[in-house]
Amino acid sequence: MAAFHRPESRPAWQALARLAHAHPLRLESLLQDPKRCERLTFEAAGLTLDATCQRVDDRVMQALFELAHECQVMPQAQALFRGEPLNVTEHRAALHMALRAEPNSAAPWGPSISLAVQDQLKRFLAFAERVRAGAWRGHDGTPLTHVVNIGIGGSDLGPRMAAQALTSQGHGRGTRVQVHHVSNIDPVAIENLLANLPPRETGFIVQSKSFTTQETVSLSQTARHWLQAGGCPLEGMASHWVAVTARPDLALAQGLLPEQTFEFWDWVGGRYSVWSAIGLPLAIAIGAEAFHAFLAGARAMDGHFLQAPPEHNLPLIMALLGVWNGNFLGSTSLNVAPYAYGLSQFVPYLQQLEMESNGKRTHVDGSAVQVQTAPVVWGGLGADAQHAYFQLLHQGPQSVPVDFIGVRQTPCSGPHAQQQHQITLDNLRAQSRALALGRNEPDTRAALHAEGWSEAKVQALWAHRTYPGNRPSSTIWLEQLDPASLGALMALYEHKVFCQSVLWGINPFDQWGVELGKTLASQMARPSGSS
């Protein structure tokens, strides 16, 4: 490993600290620049990033790009794509990009990986089409019209989010098969789900990298007992089950059918796994053609990330803005507000991606981190969120950066759909502007007087109705929420997270905190029936 340099020791880091201290920026002034929108709007892979409401000027951006250069972010990105073992604590590569690469490309990771990926892709997509056509049959020959995905973490969040996003837009119509997801080990979750399903028509996908995940194993046992109680004999049980795992040997040893066992690999991290056979429930929900488009959108963002210069590189720019807000402007959290109903599950997915990846206190060389790393990611669906937590965003004592996500076109065609959609977009734009500009005392007093309040009442109210403003936000625009755009959006955040890990000098591909919790839970487990 090359000599490690702490991020705060970098000259550019120190320059940024000086700029943040001696050069306070006000958005109300910055936004008066007529060329600001042109300089801070970026496009790639069908997405647009509008960073005009970030508290940066040319000097700050120049220093941020210099930091990226000093930290060797893009050379590290090249190493990532070459398959070098950047996951230093587990001594392996992180090659999720290989899962969405062109089938016949001269990939840097070599032909053996490419062939294995394409083989599994063809297998699980062919199976997904069989399921959608009603050709997956249970023990008595009945077509299985309900598919329950059992998984937790990356085996649930990505496929669940993407399926909800794309089916909400009409993708995947033309099949009677319904896909359900269960992850939480609380028995209420699975019992409530199964209570409404017919056992003869229900199949299960069990997803676990190790095939030993405690939560997944427990839920699978519940499902097996339910199937048996519903009339499925033990000898016919395997027909109702699919396994997706990095340990197919363990699945086969438990009696699962080879033709219904799909593999992914130890170089695929859970939170990066939706592109693999872990995406089988998504493929069943939307179909093979749409799944290929989903991969293509992510692949387009991969190409942009590797090839675009830093000044136009969307993942790098988002990463740098996050470092500026967190490490130099003092923000400790990131709010994400999608203004698209289809993205209602995007925040939980992003929480794992960001916080499990970069919630680290140890540098890659084993030394203690002395700077803030991952922000606390939280949020919810706009415009609902405006009537929940936006009060804090506008008038709370802390400044919380926001990622707004907007979709310009709606698939809805009802008599008032376009009007409603326009109201949604107007609200997004208004929130970003309100956070940036706020409203000062003179303007507030004038507004209250215009409302007809007396001077005494104005004096009593004005402080409650002012807004500090100067609160940063970015807006990511999708033309429409389709498979390609969603794939590009997810890859954008994946690469952003990687860039930040390099800037902070941490490993984004392990999760030892999660492992400790699993270990302790196993140690605390009591025999059934004990108190």
Q: List pLDDT tens digits, range 22-40.
A: 878 999 999 999 999 999 9
Does the pLDDT value for residue 286 go beyond 70? yes
Distance from C-alpha of 460 to C-alpha of 454, rounded to nearest angstrom: 10
Residue 263 annotated to the active site: no
- Taking the CA atoms of residue 417, residue 420, residue 422 and residue 427 in that order, the dihedral angle to the nearest 10 degrees is -160
Residue 387 annotated to the active site: yes
When pLDDT is averaged across residues 427-437 and rounded to a whole number, the result is: 97
Query: Encoding tokens for residue 409?
Result: 């076109």
Query: Encoding tokens for residue 314?
Result: 């969307």
Residue type at 379 in one-letter notation = G
pLDDT at 1: 52
* Cβ neighbours around 183 below 10 Å, total: 19
Q: Which is catalytic among the residues 21, 91, 387, 416? A: 387
Question: Domain 125-292: which CATH class?
Answer: alpha beta
Q: Residue 89 phi/psi, 5° resolution?
A: -80, -20
Query: Encoding tokens for residue 524?
Result: 């605390």
Tens-place pLDDT, residues 161-195 = 999 999 999 999 999 999 999 999 999 999 999 99
Cis peptide preceding 383, ω within 30 of 0? yes
Residue 96 annotated to the active site: no
What letters, b where the CB count within 10 A reaches 16 and e where it falls short, cover 51-86? bbbbbbbeebbebbbbbbebbebbebbebbbebeeb
H or E segment to which residue 455 belongs: helix 455-461
Q: Which is catalytic among the residues 356, 363, 421, 495? A: 356
Distance from C-alpha of 248 to C-alpha of 208, rounded to nearest angstrom: 10
pLDDT at 22: 87
Query: Encoding tokens for residue 82?
Result: 């070459």
The residues spanned by each domain of the chain are 125-292
Q: Closest Cα partner for 54 from 324, 262, 328?
A: 324
Distance from C-alpha of 30 to C-alpha of 53, rounded to nearest angstrom: 9
When pLDDT is averaged across residues 102-113 and rounded to a whole number, the result is: 83
Quote the percentage of the chain above a pLDDT of 70.
98
Does the pLDDT value for residue 67 go beyond 90? yes
pLDDT at 111: 87
Quote the percentage of the chain above a pLDDT of 90.
91
Query: Encoding tokens for residue 365?
Result: 């060389």
Q: Over the chain, what is the mean pLDDT?
A: 95
pLDDT at 2: 65
Q: Closest Cα partner for 255 from 245, 265, 241, 269?
A: 241
pLDDT at 526: 59
pLDDT at 530: 47
Distance from C-alpha of 42 to C-alpha of 308, rounded to nearest angstrom: 11
Does the pLDDT value for residue 529 go beyond 60? no
H or E segment to which residue 426 belongs: helix 417-437
Q: Are 191 and 229 in contact (CB under 8 A)?
A: no
DSSP annotation string for 175-215? ---EEEEE---SHHHHHHHHTTS-GGGEEEEEE-SSS--HH
Does the pLDDT value for residue 531 go beyond 50? no
pLDDT-based confidence at 229, cuts 50/70/90? very high
H or E segment to which residue 11 belongs: helix 11-22
pLDDT at 178: 97
